[in-house]
Amino acid sequence: MTSLPSPSPKKLGLVIDLDTCVGCHACAVACKEWNDGGQFGPLPDERAYEKNPLGVWFNRVHSYEVTPTEHAKPPMMVHFPRSCLHCETPDCVTVCPTGASYKRAEDGIVLVDEDKCIGCQLCAWACAYGAREFSAERGVMQKCTLCVDRIYNESFEEIDRQPACVMACPTRARHFGDLGDENSAVSKLVAERGGYDLMPETGYKPVNKYLPPRPRQDASASAFAATSGKVDFSTASPILKWLDRVLTR
């Protein structure tokens, strides 16, 4: 059924720390690697080695330049991983005419049953976050599964039962857990760091949260930028004074 289940107490999702993300795309690559061989079938690339390659990825990392409106501050670079937010009330589920798109009652994961999907792509139109990518080769819609075939996989050690993107992140910018449980590590992180929803005006109530970048050291950074052009050697050590004389000769 594509009607939404009644809200479950368990809301599995990700918390993404925009402060520590360095934009290395390791999460995107790890996701592609795991899910290409996962139980939901391959993530095909079309014309992979030709001029206009096109492929299905569940995870995309944007890089933004954020320019403060106050002029004194330097712009900030923010790397921004974007994937399915496993929303609580998403239209991508309700618009599905076949029941292929569904939200799990037990943990809130949004999935596509690829054996039922007719490839009408209406769910991708309904998603505000670009989480769904259609595979023309397979003729079905594909999306992040929150690595449902990892997180419950009992053949893995407990510590490995996490989504591939979380496992791969070298800066631990991605955290996985139950956002419905107030006392979970992820919920505490969200409370502590002021985690927020993307595009809350859609009303889809994303489960995944984003942690804002911490304030940058603007004062020292701009002071460095202002003086780096000309160095005052009058107060420098004798060795540096001598080096300055030798090099400017």
Partner 1 sequence: MRPTFAIIFFTVVSGCGFGLLFFVGMFGCIDPVRLPRMVELLGLGIGMALAAAGLLSSLLHLGQPQRAWRALSQWRSSWLSREGVASLSTFVPALALGWLVWRDETGAACRVGSAIVAIMSVVTVLCTARIYSSLKTIRAWHNGWVLPGYLLFGALSGACVLWCIDALFGDAVAALPWLIVVLAIASAAIDLAYWRFVETYVGASTPESATGLGRFGKVRSFEAPHTEANYLTHEMGFVLARKHAARLRVISLFLFAMVPMIATLIGMLFARATPIASAVSSVSVIAGLFVERWLFFAQAKHVVMLFYATTDRA
16, 210 contact by CB (below 8 A): yes
101, 2 contact by CB (below 8 A): yes
| Geometric angle at alpha carbon 39, from 58 and 197, rounded to 5° | 30
What's the rounded Cα separation, in Å, for the pair 214 and 31? 27
Q: For residues 122 and 181, which CB has a smaller minimum distance to partner 1 in the complex? A: 122
Backbone angles phi, psi at 59, to 5 degrees: -140, 125
What's the min distance (Å) between Cβ of 214 and partner 1? Answer: 11
Map residue 158 onto helix, strand or coil.
Answer: helix
What's the min distance (Å) between Cβ of 207 and partner 1? Answer: 15
What's the min distance (Å) between Cβ of 11 and partner 1? Answer: 19
16's enclosing H/E stretch is strand 12-17
Q: For residues 110 and 151, which CB has a smaller minimum distance to partner 1 in the complex? A: 110
Q: For residues 96 and 151, which CB has a smaller minimum distance to partner 1 in the complex? A: 96
Closest to 204 in 3D by CA, of 146, 126, 133, 145: 126
Q: For residues 118 and 240, which CB has a smaller minimum distance to partner 1 in the complex? A: 118
What's the rounded Cα separation, in Å, for the pair 28 and 79? 13
What's the min distance (Å) between Cβ of 89 and partner 1? Answer: 11
What's the min distance (Å) between Cβ of 206 and partner 1? Answer: 10
Q: For residues 52 and 235, which CB has a smaller minimum distance to partner 1 in the complex? A: 52
61, 79 contact by CB (below 8 A): yes
The tokens describing 36, both together, are 């290409």
What's the rounded Cα separation, in Å, for the pair 143 and 133? 6
What's the min distance (Å) between Cβ of 140 and partner 1? Answer: 6
Q: For residues 1 and 236, which CB has a smaller minimum distance to partner 1 in the complex? A: 1
